[in-house]
Chain A
Amino acid sequence: MLWVLLRKQIAERLSVFRRDKSRLDISGNILSLLLTGAVIAVVVVVFARFIDMYCAIRINNALDVPARQFELLTFIYSALFVFGVFSGIKAINFAIFESEDQKLLITLPIAPSTIFYSKLIILYAKQVIVFLMTILPINLTFAVVAAQSAYYIVMTVAMCLLFPLITLAFSSIFCFPVFYLKRFVQSKYALLLVLVTAATGLVFWGYSSILDFMKTMLTTGELRFFFKESVMRTIIEGTKYLYPSNVMAGLLLKRDIATNILLVTLTTAVASAAGFLVVNLLFNKANHARTSANKKFLYTSVPDIRKKHIMIALVAKEFKLVFRTPSYAFQYFSVAAVMPLMVYFCMGIGSDLLETLVFSKNNFELAIFVVLLFGTLTNTFCATNISREGPAFYAMKTMPIPYEQIIGAKIIFCSIVAFASTLASGLVVLLSGYINFGDFAFLFFVAMALAEAQICFATRKDLNRPTFSTDEDCEITESNSTISTIIIVGLTLTAALGGLALFFSLYNGSLNGQNSALLTIAFVGLSAIAICGGAVAYLLTGLKKRFYEMTEGD
């Protein structure tokens, strides 16, 4: 039976090759590859430099390279372990509670553990790929910088296979408690939205803090001052308790091989047994809880049924659709709400970096770049302006509403969100003293022009080729070529406008010391107007024809 289920999953995975070729998200896949490559490259470069610095740290004036290597690997494997367990929990929860096939599978005469393990095997294969992309670059960088032997390379490959197994075993223990916790939190939707928004901000704050720390360390060479003796003692003590990462690090560095192999085997066996037990106890119960979930949300307040202008009704509809779909609300409202925070952090790091590296203050140009960048990421959501409506979009076509109003309402809704997030971001930059009021006004104008351009372009692109979900809730959960195109075009324009503005200011500043603001304003301002005009023209050209001709299966 396990093989039957595995074959089913493999066939489903391979079905991607049978899809309509024109529907393949080639640009999205290329973008993902490029971004992954870029992230790996940055990690490798930074990590290589960090290994050198860290291994040169002396305690009581004594150099102990093997000990530093052990600590370094232990901490890295701890981070990977946490990442592996969390991503494992997420993947397992999706596979067994959210995937559509589960509704059918639990009605078939198949043991729950068989269903679970068939999914786990596929997840294992996926996790191996993920860990190949994370462990390999880190371990190979370490091997080159720290001059490791062939044994280390062999163990690295073994880790790529073993690590997913251990992390998935731990994930299977925690996936059910997490499922119940998630259900509880989901029942408090408003709280969840606030929490996720706060968590997004917090994650970004943590990320920018790490970047800021690394920037300071690498540009000033103060690494050794940070890792002073007391800090090092804590690290050395901490590595003793970071189980099972310290065992893995020990294995990689040829420390107590026999004991460590025994410990790893025992850990895997115990975690798997515990996972098996939890699965057998909770799998059916959790699935029944999910399928019999009372999805009723009784609104105690009486809805306003007074007559509203059609545009207000349409914009309100757009808002409800996004607000009441958790994934949409997080993707759009949370990101828009956190955007000012992101801008603030990036301005801090970017401004310092420019001052340190090129001895130049270019906050105005930097602000343009940063606000455009995050504006692009926020407004990418508009790439589903048509698709997220699902088949109800066709029903809209049968209503006596002119097409301009249906499309216009979508543009207005997105513009309101863009206006709020751009204004808040601009104000943050202004109030932080990076720019003056005149610069703020220009920054706001340019960012809104680009936002409008992106909204118009994305909406028309989606109308040209909508991707309606077959899901009961019509929710778009996968990326598609329209989304990828919007990201690529948005980032390219950001790089062109923001990047060139920065370039102009740096070039002019170093060349003749002149204030380059005028050139920036002329270039960026005119370009923004042209881009916005082009996007509006793209939206409107043949809009009526396209709107009325669009049919299912287009």
Chain B
Amino acid sequence: MSDNNITAVNNDKIPLEISRLYKKYSPKANYAVEDISFRCGKGLIMGILGPNGAGKSTILKCLTGMIPISEGEIKICGFSIKDQPVAAKRNFSFVTDNHAVFVKMTGLQYLAFMADVYGVPTVERAERIKELDKAFQLGDSVKNLISSYSHGMKQKICMMGSLMHSPQLWIMDEPMLGLDPRTQGAVIAFMKRYVADGKTILFSSHNLDVVQRICDRAVIINKGRIVEDIIIADFMRDNPQGLQKYYVADEE
């Protein structure tokens, strides 16, 4: 399949497969992440947890094609991010932790731009924007320049933009950062509805409560390696103190 094929959306394959991922930032540097392997099935919410500097963001950057991988393979809906980056990227969208958004556009222009990027048909756009606005409640602010938005509003418009094409895999780096409790609730509700439609969500977070509440699975990263890959429901049954144990253990 051509890498630039605009219709390269694959609903049948596994949303995310990472095998033996290694990444170092320069030839002489140590590995930032090493031997990372996991798969993420459909209809799941999966969390990536770990202390600061553990390698969470590096993994997310590798799998979204922001940075090249040193060794290993990442496949998104069957497309290799290394060999078929454009086709792979049609199947996911990424919300960064630093509101990487075009601040000189209005919210609406940004959404239209993202729709153009992902080839969303004109007939679907208005309805989609309405739907997302209902979920994220930007209201009339969507007509304002993004540069005038607050931290939380920027986060909302980033999420809305990333959802314009209803990606198979929705990836987020610290999605709850800066959101007020009400918006967090709305985002969580949206996430649950989203996976109910067979889509997949992968996000990194320090908010253990959110991870425990909504994730089906979580991989715990420390010092660039996977420490554990857990099913949240099973884990919570066996560990009443919750995910906090990984952070306490790290501090000790």
Residues of A within 8 A of B90 (CB): 400
Query: How many of chain B's residues have a CB under 8 angstroms from any CB in A?
Result: 51
CA distance A402 to B117 in the complex (A): 11
B67 sits at the interface (CB 8 A): yes
In the bound complex, what is the Cα–Cα distance between A406 and B81 (angstroms)?
Answer: 18
With beta carbons under 8 angstroms apart, the residue of A305, A312, A390, A393 that contacts B115 is: A305
Closest to B9 in A: A400
- B233 interface residue per 8 A CB criterion: no
Residues in B with CB closer than 8 Å to A317 are 102, 105, 113
Contacts of B61 in A (CB 8 A): 551
A460 to chain B, nearest CB (A): 19
Residue A241 at the chain B interface, CB threshold 8 Å: no
The segment from A21-29, A293-301, A340-348, A416-424 found at the interface with B is A293-301
User: Which B residues lie within 8 Å of A3 (CB)?
Assistant: none
A300 (CB) vs chain B CBs: closest residue: B143
A12 within 8 A of B: no
Q: Which residues of chain A are within 8 angstroms of B3 by Cβ–Cβ distance?
A: 402
Contact of A298 (CB < 8 Å), options: B25, B102, B118, B143: B143
Tell me if B68 and A549 are in contact (CB < 8 A): yes
Pick from B86, B100, B112, B147: contact of A395, CB under 8 Å: B100
Q: Which residue of B lies closest to A391 (CB)?
A: B100
Expressed in whole angstroms, the Cα–Cα distance for A296 and B125 within the complex equals 24
Q: B100 to A303, Cβ gap below 8 A?
A: no
Q: In the complex, how many angstroms separate the beta carbon of B119 from the nearest chain A beta carbon? A: 7
User: B106 an interface residue at 8 Å Cβ cutoff?
Assistant: yes
Contact B145 A390 (CB under 8 A): no
Q: Which residue of A lies closest to B104 (CB)?
A: A324
User: What distance in Å separates the Cβ of B196 from its nearest Cβ neighbour in chain A?
Assistant: 25
Does B101 reach chain A (CB closer than 8 Å)? yes
A305/B102 in contact, CB under 8 A: no
B122 interfacial by beta-carbon distance below 8 Å = yes
Q: Which residue of B lies closest to A307 (CB)?
A: B122
Min Cβ gap B115→A in Å is 7
B109 within 8 A of A: yes
> CB-CB < 8 A to A296: which residues of B?
141, 144-145, 148
Would B117 and A307 count as touching, CB distance under 8 A? no
| A167-184 contact mask (Cβ, 8 Å, vs B): 1 or 0 | 000000000000000000
Known contacts A297-B144, A313-B116, A313-B117; is-contact A395 B101 (Cβ 8 Å): yes
Are A392 and B118 closer than 8 Å at their CB atoms? no
- B30 interface residue per 8 A CB criterion: no
B89 touching A400, Cβ below 8 Å: yes
B176 within 8 A of partner (CB): no
8 Å CB contact of A394 from B85, B88, B100, B106: B100
Which of chain B's residues have a CB closer than 8 A to the CB of A391?
A: 96, 98-100
Q: How far is the CA of A67 from the CA of B88 in the complex (A)?
A: 81
Q: Which of A412-460 contact B (CB under 8 A)?
A: none
Assess the B108–A303 pair: CB atoms within 8 A.
yes
Q: Residues of B contacting A402 with CB < 8 Å?
A: 3-4, 86
Does A473 lie at the interface of the complex (its beta carbon under 8 Å from any beta carbon of B)? yes
A284-302 CB mask vs B (1 if < 8 Å, else 0) is: 0000000000111111000
How far does the alpha carbon of A367 sit from the alpha carbon of B120 in the complex, in Å? 49
Q: Is residue A149 within 8 Å, beta carbon to beta carbon, of the partner chain?
A: no
Say which residue of B66, B86, B100, B129 sits within 8 Å of A305 (CB atoms): B129
Contacting pair B96 A298 (CB below 8 A): no
Contact B85 A307 (CB under 8 A): no
Q: In the bound complex, what is the Cα–Cα distance between A316 and B110 (angstroms)?
A: 11
B92 to chain A, nearest CB (A): 8
Q: Is A19 an interface residue (CB 8 A)?
A: no
Contact A548 B108 (CB under 8 A): no
Name the CB-closest residue of B to A393.
B100
Contact of A307 with B25 in the complex, beta carbons under 8 Å: no
Minimum distance in angstroms from B48 CB to a CB of chain A: 16
- Candidate in A312, A393, A548 with the most chain B CB atoms within 10 angstroms: A548
Given the contacts A297-B145, A303-B108, A391-B96, A398 and B66 also touching, CB distance less than 8 Å:
yes
Check B102 against A307 for contact (C-beta < 8 Å): no
Assembly CA distance A321 to B110 (angstroms): 12
Instruction: Tell which of A310, A323, A324 touches B116, judged by Cβ atoms closer than 8 Å.
Output: A310
Provide the B101-139 mask, 1 if CB < 8 A to any CB of A, else 0. 111111011011101111111100110010000000000
Choose one: A324, A397, A400; the contact of B117 (CB below 8 Å): A400
**With the chains together, A316 CA to B96 CA distance in Å?**
23
On whether the beta carbons of B109 and A320 are closer than 8 Å, the reply is yes
Contacts known (A317-B113, A392-B102); A399 close to B89, Cβ less than 8 A: yes
**Pairs A-B, 4 closest by C-beta atoms:** A313-B116, A400-B89, A395-B100, A324-B104
Known: A298-B144, A305-B112, A307-B122. 9 other contacts (CB 8 A): A305-B126, A309-B116, A391-B96, A392-B103, A394-B96, A398-B64, A399-B117, A400-B118, A402-B4
* Residues of B that sit less than 8 Å from A by CB: 3-4, 8, 25, 61, 64-68, 85-90, 93-94, 96, 98-106, 108-109, 111-113, 115-122, 125-126, 129, 140-141, 143-145, 147-148
What are 19 of the A-B contact pairs (CB < 8 Å)? A295-B147, A298-B143, A299-B106, A303-B108, A303-B109, A305-B108, A305-B122, A305-B126, A306-B122, A307-B116, A312-B116, A313-B113, A317-B105, A394-B96, A398-B66, A473-B104, A549-B67, A551-B25, A551-B61
